Structure 1
Amino acid sequence: MTRIVNSLSEISDTYQALFVDLWGCVHDGVAALPDAVAALQKYRQSGGKVVLVTNSPRPRASVEIQLDGFGVPRDAWDTIATSGDSARSAMFRGVVGEKIFFMGTEDEKAAFLKPIAVVHDAVEITPVPLEEAEGIVCCGAFDSHADPEVNRPIFLAAKTRGLKLLCANPDIVVDRGETREWCAGALAKLYTEMGGESLYFGKPHPPIYDLARRRLAEVSDSVPDDRILAIGDGIHTDIQGAVGEDIDSLFITGGLAAAETGTDQQPNPELLNAYLDKSGFHPSFSIGFLR
């Protein structure tokens, strides 16, 4: 059974490093969450390391700029691991071919197709129409407010040709302020349900945790897994991923699952436990909001 805590500082002394989700935990897609920022600053002042582990399809440098715009100060974190960087590494190794059909915004496309230094002998990636593509790279929907089902005709044509879909963001939905938006994970889920093959590189899948550990090693001495705490509001991304990696986790109930867990400032214990039982994943700790 999860333990409900009142603040990060109540448990943080046990951990040398945090793997912290961004959207819904540190910012709401519009602005920084002040209590979360203060908690991370305090943790770093005590000597802990903070790795921001995000399913954003953006490269690390692009996320840094985005965080500056949201008002997340740079003294609240040490380094960043993104699903986008993990997926880009695979793309430039040619896992879905050299000619790709890109799904997402033009800004996402420009950032995602930038060369990545860690891949030697990278293949040359060329965006092409679907009928010429060897694979699909999905950073998100063309319209994040439209039902993913609108993509069914595209996916039917792609599945018929046996194209693989590289999913750069396994999240199903995010809340931008008060507005819920569909993410690449919803499209990849649909493609898989239709019989297509989707490849995932963000939480809860192992590649992004490998990247997060490499990023941590760049800013810290060796940290054993039992001294890492994963923090996030996604039960099937952040918490499932932590369980799979055998690291402790702190579930932010006031994010995506606020209604299901009855969270105002803190979750309703009975609703929280019912939600966790239904999900099949039980975090080490839970809290309404990161503070």
Structure 2
Amino acid sequence: MAERIGSLNDIVKHYDVILCDVWGVLHNGVSSFADASIALRSAREAGLSVVLITNSPRPGNGVIPQLESLGVLPEAYDRMVTSGDVTRKLIAEGPGKVYFIGADRETSLLEGLDVECVDEEQAEVIVCTGFVDDEVETPEDYREVLTRLASRNIPMICANPDLVVERGHRLVPCAGAIAALYTELGGTSRIAGKPHKPIYVAALDEALSHRGPFDKNRVLAVGDGMPTDVLGAITEGLDLLYISAGIHGRDYMDGAKTDVAALEAFLDSHNARPRWWMPRLQ
């Protein structure tokens, strides 16, 4: 079983770099977790480099204002890499006629790229950032259009691999849920965000640019999502601090209390072996 820690400060001596998830660790989509920002700021003051690594479909310069509005301290991190940042490279390499699925505010992902948004019939590629309205929609609302697109072998680029995220005390669906349905329907998807390698390469490059050479054994990943943060850390061979009160907390928590045996069983069921765990980053 992973070791329960009381504070990030308890383990910073083991690391030079932290790759920290954002949604579920630093905020819940409605407000920030103040102790998390303070913990990362303290780690930076101790000499560590902090790179935020998020599956947001927006480029990083579009996420920073959101973090500030939620109360995340700008002193909590040195650099940021988003799924949007690495996904833009996939879009640039692909066909130019894009069928876009997502909210209007996410179209900034396409800005500056040599692509054209077209209707379904003209599409050469799908770019999915999420739901048009994630408050009311489910993947089933997209089944008919996805079935038609899959029958034409139109590839999908998924800008946010997350299946769900917390929004306040609720879970809302993300683009990964649409991509999962598309795969079920026989379509193909390309994904660069967590848990896939491109976003980790980009994040480690940002750390290298910030601090110079470091040993990968002294990199700590922090996250709460089993199919994204945890799997990505495992695949990359990184130590993991698992934030247990995130999106999976309902599986082993009763209110604020953690059933440690249930947590251990949950981790075992996912073949997950984080080195450390705590309910919320502090």
With the shorter chain as reference, the TM-score category is over 0.9
**Structure 1 residue 222 corresponds to structure 2 residue 213:** yes
**Residue matched to 2:110:** 113
Once the two structures are superposed, residues 106-156 of structure 1 have per-residue CA deviations (whole angstroms, 9 ceiling, x without a partner) of 1101x10122xxxxxx6x200000110001000001221322111110111
| Corresponding position of 2:73 | 73
Whole-angstrom CA distance in 2 between matches of 1:281 and 1:158: 35
Amino acid aligned to 2:111: K
Q: Kindly tell me the number of residue pairs found equivalent between the two proteins.
A: 281
Residues 134-213 of structure 1 aligned to structure 2 (within 5 Å): 134-145=124-135, 146-213=137-204
**1:103 aligns to 2:101 (yes or no):** yes
Distance (Å, rounded) in 2 between the aligned partners of 1:267 and 1:89: 41
Q: How does 1:116-135 map onto structure 2 within 5 Å?
A: 124-135=114-125
Residues 44-100 of structure 1 show CA distances to partners (whole Å, capped at 9, x for unaligned) of: 111111000000001010011111111112111000000001001110122xx1101
Q: Give the alignment's TM-score, normalised by structure 1.
A: 0.94
CA distance in 1 between partners of 2:249 and 2:221 (Å): 19
Report the CA distance between 1:266 and its aligned residue. 5.9
Letter matched to residue 130 of structure 2:
G
Question: Partner of 1:69: helix, strand, or coil?
Answer: helix
**How far apart are the structure 1 equivalents of 2:56 and 2:222?**
16
RMSD, matched Cα? 1.2
What is the alpha-carbon distance in structure 1 between the residues aligned to residue 261 and residue 98 of structure 2? 47
Deviation track 1:141-175 (CA, whole Å, cap 9, x = no partner) reads 12213221111101111001100000000000011
Alignment check: 8 A CA contact 1:15 1:228 kept: yes
**Cα distance, 1:2–1:266 mapped onto 2, change above 3 Å:** farther
Q: What TM-score, normalized to structure 2?
A: 0.97
Q: Aligned AA for 2:175?
A: A
The alpha carbon displacement at 1:280 in A equals 1.9
**CA apart distance, 1:265:** 4.8
Residues 1:217 and 1:266: Cα distance change in structure 2 (over 3 Å)? farther
Counterpart contact for 1:267–1:287, Cα < 8 Å: no
TM-superposed deviation, 1:28: 1.1
| Alpha-carbon contact 2:34-2:71 (below 8 Å) kept | no
Deviation at 1:183, TM superposition (A): 0.2
Where 1:259 maps in the other structure, the secondary structure is: helix
2:254 and 2:205 map into 1 onto residues whose CA distance is: 35
Which stretch of the first structure deviates more once superposed, 150-159 or 259-268? 259-268
Structure 1 unaligned residues grouped into runs of 5+: 116-121
Q: Note the C-alpha offset of 1:264.
A: 5.0
Which residue, out of 258, 261, 274, partners 2:265? 274
Give the distance between the partners of 1:89 and 1:268, measured in 2 at CA.
42
Distance 2:11 2:258 in 1: 18
- In the alignment, is the contact (CA less than 8 A) between 1:231 and 1:250 conserved in 2? yes
Q: Write out the 4+ residue segments of structure 1 that deviate beyond 6 Å after TM superposition.
A: none
